[in-house]
Structure 1
Amino acid sequence: MNDPKGTVVFSTVGRPHYGFDLFSLPLHSSFNNLASEHRLSDGISVNFNAQFANDDPHSVVFISERTGLPAIYLTRPGLPTPKLLHSEPGSLFHDRPILKNDILYFISAHQHPNRPFKSWSALYSTTTTLLLDEDQNQNPKTTRLTPSDAVDYSPAISLSGQFVAVASYGSRPWDGEFHHLNTDIVVFRASQPSKRVLVCQRGGWPTWSGDAVIYFHRQDDDGWWSIFRVDFSQDLESSSGYPITPTRVTPSGLHCFTPAALHDGKQIAVATRRPEKNFRHIELFDVESKTFRPVTETLNPNFHHYNPFVSTNSQFLGYHRFRGESTQWGETTIPYLEPVSSPIKQLQMLRIHGSFPTFSPNGDLIAFNHDFDANAGIKIVKSDGSKRWNLIKDRAAFYNAWSPTEKHVIFTSLGPIFQSAKTTVQIARIEFNPSDLDGDKEEIPCNVKILTKEDTGNNAFPSCSPDGKSLVFRSGRTGHKNLYIIDAVNGEFNGDARRLTEGQCIDTMPSWSPKGDLIAFSSNRHNLDDVAVFGIYVIKPDGSGLRRVYAAGDDVERERINHVCFSKDGEWLLFTANLGGVTAEPVSLPNQFQPYGDLYVVRLDGSGLRRLTWNGYENGTPAWLEGDEVVDMGRLRLENEVGGDKLKGRFEEPLWISCDF
């Protein structure tokens, strides 16, 4: 059986709107003059999670996604564009780079753990002598500093470079949490990474003040995220005295996260969320007077600011934020389609600015839902990203399925998403004239035909049979969400809906195999008491042969799998799942509803599991194109030929961060 091939198009929660760039301020400034804010990055793609490099306040190492994956870049005076410093072969994720004493420390996720439900994130180091030499083509050796069975996040290096602190998950499998990760603060010498000491329990995002004080964040028992401190003796030879009971530094009444300590021992830069404010801002906290000094709110009051970093000489403060709508430099549009790096050579990956994409029969068009908050209905975009049309406007719609036999027919769900079984949602057949796509029209006339009866509850997630004659969908008409089949032209108004599955379970998101022999879907029928666990099931269209496809080996009871679809030959399944845990600390990012959501493929017999995305975001709603038509990835990289929306920084703070206690 061949490896997966073709093109996968998918969505990522919030990511198209980020527009992150890096900025710095002199700490001696008054923070009330926007002119004092210095831009460090070039406005291309997203740029974030930086540190000043090698104690130089004018050089920065950071993460950028300009090549389709989060890789490590360096910018400094004299470089016309940021330099790709490192991208570990086989890794689609790099994070929190630190360049200290010509050694690059970074998080990567290229070594697979020995079981599912465990993050791939670990700390590595490499020397930068070769990386910084423009004439060298050699790849320096990378050393894993995290033990082979452990998971580490958010590294920090002490002032001298002797000590490393990480937020470590240890060797435990992921517990399923994704708000406050159950990590501990672990310290080791940079020269002896195998000799690790658990310095403090329950903590994340460590930062050093000198070589003897570590600050970190965690959510305290009163609900507020706060900064804590431990005094480190620098004695790693004896385990006595560890773990240390920390001291809470910042008060209750506001959230404080992602600290960056100044080495003068007097202040900490923190990101804050205050009850009366709608935005995350950077503030300086004086550890002696216990007072806050606002930094970014006076400069950009209506932007979120993330993950501060400070120079070794305590003279400069940096952070990342949305670059702004009115900027005269950098990217100012969100492309309709964006190429993303793939771990499989013959499988292309595209991120769409929207959700629930579906390909036209020959693959030249993609229908999708653009913006649920604005009831944006359904749009159609060329699969090379060059043009887009409105098919339905000002109407709530979600989850689309293009007829595999009719280029002018798209099926969708009309009504609110994520509602109860009894909420009215209807399956609709949408017909339009494909020739209308050849002119200058932006609004495409169409006819909407409802296929389900109004009193049948929540009918959604249609999928069309390969002959174009039937639809399978999920319906809540009995009070439980099961699968039904109807005629693709007249629906249940010319014959009853035939029930395909039964039970007091949630059967949802069906996908009809292109071979016509099977229907795959997600269900919790193996654990009716838990609405958060879903496995893959397949059933024949006549209702026989129901079986489960096991993707997670021995840990199948923890599977949360959704958005299943088939390859063209019907031998592979593409889906979204929680099998890889959490890749980065979620509190350091904008809102991700399910930051463990990543794309995978598996053979129909449950073998050959491959992970397609791992980047700290929630990825989902994939569609898979195979065949003679190939999406023109080269054209997608030519910005002047690809359409897009205005970049406005429309993303949210994590919705689970509450200020209402």
Structure 2
Amino acid sequence: MGDEKRGSIAFFSTYRPPLPLDIYSSPLLVTSRKDELHMTDGLSYNYNAQIIPSNALKKILTRPKMASEGNGADVDSGRLSAMVFVSERENLETLHIALQFKNDDENSLRVKVFSFSDVFDTFNGIRMEDSGCIAGDYLVYVTTKDELRDRRQPWTAVYKTNLKTSETSRLTLKVISNLKCDRVADLSPAVSPSGKQIAVASFQNYGGWDGEIEDLKTDIFVMKTDPPLGRKMVIRNGGWPSWGSDNVIFFHRKVGDFWGVFRADISKGRATEFFRVTPDGMDAMTPAAINATTVAVATIRQKSKFGDIRVETQYRHIEIFDTTGQQQPRQITMNIRPKADHFNPFVIDGGKRIGYHRCKSEMLKVRVFPTFSPDGSKLAFVDNEFKNVWVADNKGLRIVQKTRGPDSIFAPVWNQNPEKDVLYVCMGPSFNATEKLDICAIPEASRGRGHHKILTAVSNNAFPSTSPDDY
């Protein structure tokens, strides 16, 4: 180990914002950004929240690690409220409880965060937890704490933890054999208004996961909170259930090219008729029911393509839809931050406020395609618009090659001879097999002279790689 050499790896990632996600809420009648309320302490990535009802919070405050933080009188007076959410502050995606103390300033909260597993002494191993929600005396959630049985198969299971005793039990069916048809994994638990029923999106009827990425093949099952669970399927082909009443479930599914939110009446068991709440021709997902006829959803009203400079309707926003047709959709986040993506709405104070998570900043400075020079002294990369090549070294950070517009340059790589100071890049539309795409050399790259030389003939050429003897 004494001769071990260590270095650095540069990379970029997709589907994860470069700035932390955090949780906010807004009233239904939004007038300005000042109406938006920050719901956490601002540390780490925080998302997927649900409000903790007053009765449940009073039980949580009896736990030894919480008893000094407040009491029932604080809850009844409105001085203290709480929510359960996912945070990555302990290098795992696990549930946390935020105690929210009201300040004199109505637009701010003093927040103190506790790990759910620390408060209730549940699990302490490697795991992920999500979708926390309250069912009477229980916190219901999904976790991967159980042992994985099969490679490339989900093993998420729904559990409940008693808020008084911390007794924890599994609600998802256990696998009883190694047969594919017996693989059961549940997602997105949601509790009915009475607290007596739990809806989940489940792979149960599909024999597990079959490689799908965005459109997961799940059905919605309903079970009782207390045994006997009486688990039964109520909606075929649906995900992300949310209860409008004890007989009404909102959910999302993909139909054709677009995601939509639907409403189903399950009073007679399995639903066979579905009412589409959101219009076709736009994406709508992750419903949060306010009541049996009103639901908050995340929408993308106009699809975008890779390389687009997005307009406001191409961002993900929170809207409220009325299924009776008496009210037009109500925009929530479009009026606050039109050029930011907002996710996974949740209901506060019976619908007086709507919560969601978003990036902390809408002015994201993202870099892609990093490449080190052979001696490690220089780092080159492309901006997120695929418009300019940048170099960072001991002289600072600067643009060394500009193009006329976005989606014009990508995939830089250094010549293996550091004395030559040459970068090779792709110039032309990215990831488009039908357009002309050239490999170009940028001589004296770190000097930023802005010159380049085309190295390839008329064709589609991409992703250059230089050999060690390229001198």
TM-score, normalised on structure 1? 0.52
Deviation of the 1:359 alpha carbon: 3.4
What pairs up with 1:241-390 in 2 under 5 angstroms?
A: 243-250=270-277, 252-253=279-280, 255-262=283-290, 264-274=291-301, 277-296=313-332, 299-300=335-336, 302-303=338-339, 304-311=341-348, 313-323=350-360, 353-361=366-374, 363=376, 365-371=378-384, 373-380=385-392, 388-390=397-399
Which residue matches 1:123?
158
Paired letter, 1:97: G
SS in 2 for 1:461: coil
Q: Secondary structure at the match of 2:464?
A: strand
SS of residue in 2 equivalent to 1:11: coil
Structure 1 residues 306, 146: CA separation in 2 closer, same or farther (over 3 Å shift)? farther
Larger RCO (CA within 8 A; separation ≥ 6): 1
Residue deviations 1:529-581 (CA, integer Å, cap 9, x gap): xxxxxxxxxxxxxxxxxxxxxxxxxxxxxxxxxxxxxxxxxxxxxxxxxxxxx
Instruction: Give the Cα–Cα distance (whole angstroms) in 2 for the partners of residues 365 and 172 of structure 1.
Output: 50
Partner of 1:75: 98
Given that 1:430 and 1:449 are in contact with CA atoms closer than 8 Å, whether structure 2 keeps it comes out as yes
CA distance 1:85–1:219, shift in 2 (3 Å): same
CA distance in 1, matches of 2:228, 2:125: 22
* 1:156 is aligned to 2:190: yes
Q: How many aligned positions are there?
A: 406
Answer yes or no: is the 8 Å Cα contact 2:18–2:364 preserved in 1. no
How big is the alpha-carbon RMSD for the aligned residues of Structure 1 and Structure 2? 4.1
Correspondence for 2:455 among 452, 455, 466: 452
- What are the within-5 Å matches in structure 2 for residues 340-489 of structure 1? 353-361=366-374, 363=376, 365-371=378-384, 373-380=385-392, 388-394=397-403, 396-402=408-414, 406=418, 409=421, 411-416=423-428, 417-420=430-433, 423-428=436-441, 430-432=443-445, 444-445=447-448, 450=453, 452-455=455-458, 457-465=459-467, 468-469=468-469, 488-489=470-471
How far did residue 157 of structure 1 move? Answer: 1.6
1:208–1:226: structure 2 CA closer, same or farther, 3 Å change rule? closer
Contact kept? 1:379, 1:392, Cα under 8 Å:
no
Aligned to 2:247: 212
Q: Which amino acid in structure 2 is aligned with residue 375 of structure 1?
A: K
Q: CA deviation at 1:463?
A: 2.9
Shift of 1:154: 1.9
Letter in 2 for 1:187: V
Contact 2:375/2:418 (<8 A) preserved: no
In the TM superposition, what are the counterparts of 1:109-188 in structure 2 within 5 Å? Answer: 111-112=147-148, 114-116=150-152, 118-119=153-154, 121-126=156-161, 143=170, 145=172, 147-148=174-175, 149-170=183-204, 171-188=206-223
Identity of aligned residues (%): 29
- Structure 1 portions without partners, runs of 5+: 132-139, 234-240, 326-331, 335-352, 434-443, 470-487, 490-661
Give yes or no for contact 2:423–2:445 (8 Å, CA) kept in 1: no
CA distance in 2, matches of 1:8, 1:113: 33
Closer/same/farther in 2, CA of residues 428 and 52 from structure 1, 3 Å limit: same
1:147–1:194: 8 Å Cα contact kept in structure 2? no
Residues 252-276 of structure 1: CA distance to partner in whole angstroms, max 9, x if unpaired? 35554221123x5453223344469
For 1:306 and 1:419, the matched residues in 2 are separated by 30
1: CA distance, partners of 2:403 / 2:91: 33
Partner secondary structure for residue 463 of structure 1: coil
Contact 2:184 2:208 in 1 (8 A): no
Question: Is 1:62 matched up with 2:63?
Answer: no
Give 1:296 shift: 0.9
Q: Which amino acid aligns with 2:457?
A: E
Alpha-carbon distance in 2 for matches of 1:397, 1:123? 46
Instruction: Provide the rounded CA distance (Å) in 2 between the counterparts of 1:110 and 1:355.
Output: 36
Tell me, yes or no, if structure 1 residue 16 matches structure 2 residue 17.
yes
Alpha-carbon distance between aligned partners in 2 of 1:249 and 1:97, rounded to the nearest angstrom: 27
2:389 and 2:187 map into 1 onto residues whose CA distance is 39
Residues 124 and 146 of structure 1 are in contact (CA less than 8 Å); yes or no, is this contact kept in structure 2? no
SS at match of 1:300: coil
- Measure the CA separation in 2 of the matches of 1:50 and 1:215: 18
Q: SS where residue 358 of structure 1 aligns?
A: strand
